[in-house]
Amino acid sequence: MELTRRNLLGATLGATAAAPVLMSAGAALAQGVTPRRGGMLTTILNPEPPVLQIGVNNQTPTLIAGTKITQGLLQFTPKLEPLPQLAKSWTVSPDGLEYVFKLEENVTWHDGKPFTADDVVFSVMQFNREVAPRLRGVLAGIAEATTPDPHTARFVLKQPFEPFLLCFDATAMPIVAKHLFEGQNFRTAPAVQHPVGTGPFRFVEWQRGNFVRMERYEGYWKPGKPYLDGILWRIVPDGQSRRLAIESGQVVMTTATDIEPFDIPALRAKPNLAVTTAGWEYFSPLFWYDLNQRVGPLADKRVRQAMSMALDRNFIVQRLWFGLGRPATGPIASTTRFYDATAKLPPFDVAKAKKLLDEAGHKPGAGGMRFALKHLIPPYGEIWNRMSEYFRQAMRQIGIDVTLESTDAGTWASRVANWDYETTANVLYQFGDPTLGVERSYVTSNIQKITFTNTAGYSNPRVDELFQAGRTAATAAERQKAFSEVQHLLVEEVPLLWVVEVAYPTVTDKKLRNVIQTGTGVHASFDDVFLAS
């Protein structure tokens, strides 16, 4: 399948820096509206992030707001093809070891200093290497990073790594100013509190608990952009207030979890609002119930299969998520590369689930209960509580007595990291590729006392082998083979109870144009977003 990769690279190699701009302008013209310069975009930031520097913090609100200030080398289409951002073009050597990025010239930081390849190498080799644990393994595979000229950055890998380019999105590999971070503690440097980037908007003011204000950076490297005068992020902690804000026009955009799923149907009905779930393909968040395999009954495959069969995924998607998203079919989301539609979980079947439990030797005891489990509720809001409550009721139906434990974010993270839980729930991003975002939850080598690793403690040598094969295979076809097999295997073993492929809604006022253009959606820099009059 060499061709596929060639085609992909060919398409992007041919792309010019102006292409996306023309595309979006074209799209706008097609709707009969010329981009209008001016106007403030008011939107919501929720929950209020601690800082706005991507990398230092990687929570969704930080990423959404931070990408307007800080940029990456590339961005990605909904099909996960690379598009230029700070890199205007790039080449990959045929052996897949050498990556050369040609950078935009005339780019300046918000403090006026020029942006060069030194910044890129610093960001990749030092800043992100330290602050981004997820990429540490990938970055450790870089043998050499050089700057042949101030506008060229060259990376040589120790061995081929097919998804390497996917790591260069602003959300994964933010490019920061070397002169502001070098020699400092990256987490406490002054630039963390007052972020400086190359993006279309510069940070102006943050009244904590109230709002964050960004203004157009007049020295932005794309002439004539951005169209907007600035962005005002209001901090609205209450869900109903957020809904009211978008309905009443006090804000013109909401993102991610701003609007609760149950409010979406009403908002869809509003003629002046547009609701879309596009723009999350790069992340493909997958929701699952996490089962600690070290807990007695959960080590038994049959018990896990029974639990999986007790979940009515259609009900969950329709009733709890109000149709936002799709029932999960396996460990890899359907929007992620190498998804195999033939690997499918067995359907909802309570009777069969009970039979499986009987077979596993868990006969119903007093009160019809077979055994008891605790469930640690992730403290992230409404939908999580509902999902945990659903889990308890679904499990009780097949005779598993689930008790809920509530906790706080810190304790939740530390208990999950320390394997100190029986069951819980989680959502993980897949970052477009199984090697980047799926492998980590299943391989034996990643059983670590750190969150977002294989904390469930699932271990299967064959699964380890297959993920390794998928990681190192040089061609997409070879990778597909490995990943198909692993999907079939995992669907059989159900180490985790995959439930929903989450699709977060973006609600916009129809005056607001060009919002969702890429596979990262509202994480784009918004340099071509405008408010139609």
Stretch that binds other proteins, among 8-16, 151-159, 444-452, 476-484 (CB under 8 A): 444-452
Out of 14, 223, 410, 461, the residue judged to bind other proteins by CB under 8 A: 410
Strand order through the sheet with 326-327: 326-327, 497-501, 286-291, 423-428, 371-376, 400-405
Q: Confirm or reject binding of residue 237 to other proteins (CB under 8 A).
A: yes
Q: Confirm or reject binding of residue 47 to other proteins (CB under 8 A).
A: yes
Shortest Å, Cβ 121 to other proteins: 27
Out of 19, 33, 50, 129, the residue judged to bind other proteins by CB under 8 A: 50
Q: Confirm or reject binding of residue 320 to other proteins (CB under 8 A).
A: yes
Return the axis-axis angle of helices 301-309 and 350-359, rounded to nearest 10°. Answer: 160
Q: Confirm or reject binding of residue 245 to other proteins (CB under 8 A).
A: yes
Q: Confirm or reject binding of residue 185 to other proteins (CB under 8 A).
A: no
Q: Confirm or reject binding of residue 240 to other proteins (CB under 8 A).
A: yes
Q: Which is nearer to other proteins, 42 or 284 (CB)?
A: 42
Burial class (CB in 10 A: 0-12, 13-18, 19+), 361: exposed
Q: Confirm or reject binding of residue 184 to other proteins (CB under 8 A).
A: no
Largest CA distance in the chain: 75
Q: Which helix (H) or strand (E) holds 244?
A: helix 239-248
> d(Cα 441, Cα 456) in Å, to the nearest integer?
8
Q: Confirm or reject binding of residue 404 to other proteins (CB under 8 A).
A: yes
Q: Count of alpha carbons within 13 Å of 82, Cβ hemisphere only? A: 32
Spell out the residues 6+ positions from residue 135 whose beta carbon is closer than 8 angstroms to its own. 128, 129, 167, 172, 173
Q: Which is nearer to other proteins, 193 or 460 (CB)?
A: 193
**Segment 90-96 long-range contacts (CB within 8 Å, at least 24 positions apart):** 90/12, 90/13, 90/165, 91/13, 92/9, 92/165, 95/160, 96/157, 96/160, 96/161, 96/162, 96/474
Shortest Å, Cβ 481 to other proteins: 35
Shortest Å, Cβ 429 to other proteins: 15
Q: Which helix (H) or strand (E) holds 211?
A: strand 211-216
Q: Confirm or reject binding of residue 459 to other proteins (CB under 8 A).
A: no
What one-character DSSP code corresponds to residue 521? G
| Partners of residue 98 on adjacent β-strands | 156
Stretch that binds other proteins, among 76-84, 326-334, 411-419, 511-519 (CB under 8 A): 411-419
Burial class (CB in 10 A: 0-12, 13-18, 19+), 31: exposed
Q: Which is nearer to other proteins, 320 or 516 (CB)?
A: 320
Out of 210, 272, 314, 342, the residue judged to bind other proteins by CB under 8 A: 210
Q: Which is nearer to other proteins, 378 or 519 (CB)?
A: 378
Stretch that binds other proteins, among 239-247, 434-442, 499-507, 521-529 (CB under 8 A): 239-247
The binding site for other proteins (CB under 8 A) comprises 40, 42, 47-48, 50-51, 187-188, 192-193, 207-211, 213, 232, 234-241, 243-245, 248, 250-251, 260, 262-263, 266, 319-320, 377, 379, 382, 385-386, 388-390, 392-393, 396, 403-411, 413-415, 417-418, 449-451
